[in-house]
Amino acid sequence: MAERIAGAGRLKIGISACFMHADPARVLFTGKTLQYVEQSIAHWVMSTGALAVMVPSPTGATQRGDVTLEHYADWLDGLVLHGGADVSPLSYGEQPLQEKWSGDRVRDEYEIALVAAFERHGKPVFGVCRGLQLMNVAYGGTLFQDIATQVPQALVHRDAVVYDHNFHGVELVAGSRLASLYPESGRVTVNSIHHQAIKDLAPGFEVEAVSFEDGMVEAIRRSDRSQSWLAAVQWHPEFHLPGSETLDDAALLQDFLDAATAAKKTTT
């Protein structure tokens, strides 16, 4: 892992916010909109000494001041899009097949704008689970709204009973950047906690890993290396436990942080 550095030299990594929208029926925080990050993703980012910073949406009913996403993209060194609510089918030109798959379009619009801001500033973006799906949609791709419904022959990619202990095999695409990070591992085991998945890959991206049994896309990366660094995985590397059977998260995190370091040198 990267050498720990102190003070102003530490990388500052933004994490996109999860939304809990205002609900007058909720007992706590009645009628209030909450924005938050999961502890595991923040601790994952901080595990090498980088600073984790939640990027709140500056818009909303209580908006005050002149802070924009552009300010965060200019100040921070990289961005992580983490898991959470479904991506809304409306965000990729479809109607929800069922109401429960309507997703969170408010969060979609916020994160799409956030990715665009970081790209304008030449900063890397790494997506986790929903983050992969959002990245694909942001650049023109589409999703399966529900794997079990639309691809009935597929594996069970989300099991509420075992949750992050639902594992399956993933094949790393030979010659890809991801495969080069794990040169001894053509096939690996990952956790699987999603019911949506990439249907049509966004233009300008390449697949770096697929589910071994059913071919579902498990990792993507922008194919044009001359443009801003964009990559994502469908699993949750932050849930990896040392000594477990799942893919070691260290190389994935370091690759992203190396890209953030390079971007920082370029923009300072």
Nearest CA among 162, 137, 178 for reference residue 239: 162
Catalytic residue (one of 82, 168, 194, 236): 236
**Choice among 111, 119, 208, 238 that is catalytic:** 238
Q: Which two tokens stand for residue 243?
A: 């000594």
Of 140, 47, 36, 145, residue with least CA distance to 87: 145
236 labelled catalytic: yes
Active site residue 194: no
**CA dist 163 → 91, 144, 159, 185, 245 (Å):** 27, 20, 5, 25, 15
Under a CB-based contact definition with an 8 Å cutoff, are residues 240 and 198 in contact?
no
Beta pairing class for 143-144 and 197-198? antiparallel
Sequence-ordered list of residues with C-beta below 8 angstroms from that of 3, at least 6 positions apart, any chain: none
| Residue 67 phi, psi dihedral angles, 5° rounding | -70, 135
- Polymer length in residues for the chain: 268
Q: Which of 18, 129, 194, 218 is catalytic?
A: 129
Residue showing tokens 């071919």:
215
Q: Could you list the active site residues?
A: 129, 236, 238
